[in-house]
Amino acid sequence: MEVLGRLLALLVLLLLGTGLRTTGVLNTQRTARLNAAAYYVALPALIFVSTYDQAIGDLLSLELLGGLLFVLFSTAGIAWVVHRGRSSTPRRSVAIVQSYHSNLGYLGLPLVAATFGADVTAIASVVLGVVTLTQLPLTIIILSTLNGADAAMSDELHRLATNPVLLALLAGLTIGSIGVTMPPVAATGLDVVGALALPLALLCVGASLQTSARSLELGAAGSVIALKIGCMPLLAWLVFSLLSVDSATFTATVVMLGTPTAVSTFVFATELGGDEEFASLNVFLTTLVSIGTLFVLITLVS
């Protein structure tokens, strides 16, 4: 019941964000400020306090790295086959990337931190880093290739290198690996700031969710939902069971890869010639349906 209560609270925050946007309270400028607070302050703080006291060798293993890459590329490959028959190339490109591109930062990591212990949260931070470094370039390549868009890969790589979430992960792992002791006051302060990551992120996601009846195509949208929050976590469950990883790694990977499609895929679709209305619809639907599927996943792994 506690897990269900948490997930229902997530749904309330999502709907609150949507309602605040609809009423004009969260306009574009205010949403951008809220997003900046989550992206540049709260999420980096959460990641840093989750990793600063652990060495990288204790968190990142060959099994974790290999398993994550296998699940990600396998899901992308399945999505390519499933969506190959879409008549519209912009819609096909969006369907492919949204079938594997996970909302790890704004939903996955904060949810794990709020639900599980420090050991699972630390592994989830590493999962975020590894998958982000992989899925972001893959998404740009697929969208730009299929849609014939001119993507400035150097600019995207520069953004990736200066990503505050990844920099916080690197800083935390570095400090943990060399054994530097953090002052208790600083650690406590960052922990308080990090606790704001989930509510801030959910309000931002809710304020960003938009859909239109014109973009509704049940077959395509249903396939994206099935692959992203059905196939991907199931594949993660099978792979990491076969790898016989510890319980913290298993829990972190299954829950993180069971998150819905990232809101950023809508941005990339808009910039790189994808079907932006369809992209917005899929973000909305996968986020909504994932409230139920994440409850099942968290209950099972717990």
Q: Decide: 122 and 109 in contact? Cβ < 8 Å.
A: no
**pLDDT at residue 52 in the model:** 83
Closest CA to 50 of 117, 103, 108, 102: 117
Tokens standing for residue 139: 């998404």
Give the pLDDT score at 48: 87
The topology (CATH level 3) of 2-301 is Na+/H+ antiporter like fold (1.20.1530)
Residue 33 pLDDT class (50, 70, 90 cuts): confident
At residue 185, the pLDDT reads 86
d(CA 132, CA 111): 17
For the stretch 142-183, pLDDT in tens is: 998 898 766 565 666 677 677 787 888 888 888 888 877 778
Residues 113-135, buried b or exposed e (16+ Cβ, 10 A)?
bbbbeebbbbbbbbbbbbbbebb
Q: Which two tokens stand for residue 167?
A: 């920099």
**Model confidence at 23: pLDDT above 80:** yes
Hey, which of 50-59, 113-122, 206-215 has the most confident mean pLDDT?
113-122
Q: What is d(CA 80, CA 83) in angstroms, rounded to the nearest whole number?
A: 5
User: pLDDT tens, 58-70?
Assistant: 788 999 999 999 9
- Altogether, the residues listed in the chain come to a count of 302
Residue 30: pLDDT band with limits 50, 70, 90: confident
Calculate mean pLDDT across residues 258-281: 86
What pLDDT score does 98 carry?
96
CA–chain centroid gap for 255, Å, is 10
- The helix-helix angle for 232-242 and 62-82 (nearest 10°) equals 150
Instruction: Answer yes or no: are the C-beta atoms of 109 and 121 closer than 8 Å.
Output: yes
Does 114 or 240 have the greater pLDDT score? 240
The residue written with tokens 């390549």 in the block is: 141
Q: What's the token pair of residue 276?
A: 């932006």
| Mean pLDDT, the chain, whole residue set | 86
Q: Torsion-angle region of residue 55: left (phi > 0), alpha (psi -120 to 50) or beta? A: beta
The residue with tokens 């920099």 is 167
For 3-16, how does the pLDDT look when each residue is reduced to its tens digit (9 = 90+)? 677 777 777 887 88
Q: Give the pLDDT score at 213.
A: 56
| CA atoms lying within 13 Å on the CB side of residue 289 | 19
Does residue 243 have a pLDDT over 80? yes
pLDDT value of position 187: 82
Handedness of CA 75, 206, 165, 125 (dihedral sign): negative
| Domain locations in the chain as residue ranges | 2-301
Reply yes or no on whether the pLDDT at 135 is more than 60: yes
